[in-house]
Structure 1
Amino acid sequence: MRSEVSVTFKGAAPVRIDLNEVQPMPHDVARWWLDDQFTQMGCEPLRPTGKLLTADKVVVVAEAAGLAKFQEAKWSQEFARAASAALGKPVVHIDVATLGISY
């Protein structure tokens, strides 16, 4: 089964991270990794209520990281592993411009 995370930034080709030959990240480790990146990057919740869904966290971390961070192979691989595991989906597409996510 195909496993991939792709991230699209406005005006740039999608960044595709292939996870087919990569060890899956445990769900709890993935949530911790995303929480840590969210804090390190100084991210803010998308919703005015402050409620932060896992999908929102994935999108906000991708936005804060920017295209430059996704050019770092190690970081982008860890992000993809964490996003896929935390969301429980083998194929994830993140559109940073619209703050959207699809499976």
Structure 2
Amino acid sequence: MRHELSVLFDARKRLDIAVEAPLPDPFEARRWLDQEFVRLDCSPLRASGKVLTADKVLALASEVGESGFEDEHWRQAFAQNACAALARPLVVVDVGAMTVTC
């Protein structure tokens, strides 16, 4: 199955990432997202402090910004782990609208 992740930074800037197979195990993917969330010192998006997997994906994309996605290794790891953790073949991260759609 083909997987793809798109990141929209604004109405004019979209990054489409074809995800290389195989995807990591969903547990390992969530662990990778957790580690990156802590490493990059991301903040919870919700006032309650609860952080959903989609929130981590959005916070990471927002934190690294366009320049962070220039790193091919990190870009591919992010896309693989986001698709695996969310268990969806297509993930769209809209940084400007603060949404993740699958």
- What band does the TM-score fall into relative to the shorter chain? over 0.9
Task: Determine whether 1:75 maps to 2:74.
Answer: yes
SS at match of 1:25: coil
Q: Which residue of 1 aligns with 2:93?
A: 94
Task: Determine whether 1:63 maps to 2:62.
Answer: yes
SS at match of 1:9: strand
SS at match of 1:16: strand
Runs of 5+ unmatched residues, structure 2: none
Q: Which amino acid aligns with 1:18?
A: A
Across the two proteins, how many residue pairs are aligned to each other?
102
Q: Which residue of 1 aligns with 2:4?
A: 4
C-alpha RMSD of the superposition = 1.2
Q: Which residue of 1 aligns with 2:37?
A: 38
Q: TM-score, normalised by structure 1?
A: 0.93
Q: Which has the higher strand share?
A: 2
Runs of 5+ unmatched residues, structure 1: none
Q: TM-score, normalised by structure 2?
A: 0.94
The runs of at least 4 consecutive aligned structure 1 residues that moved more than 6 Å come to: none
Q: Which amino acid aligns with 2:2?
A: R
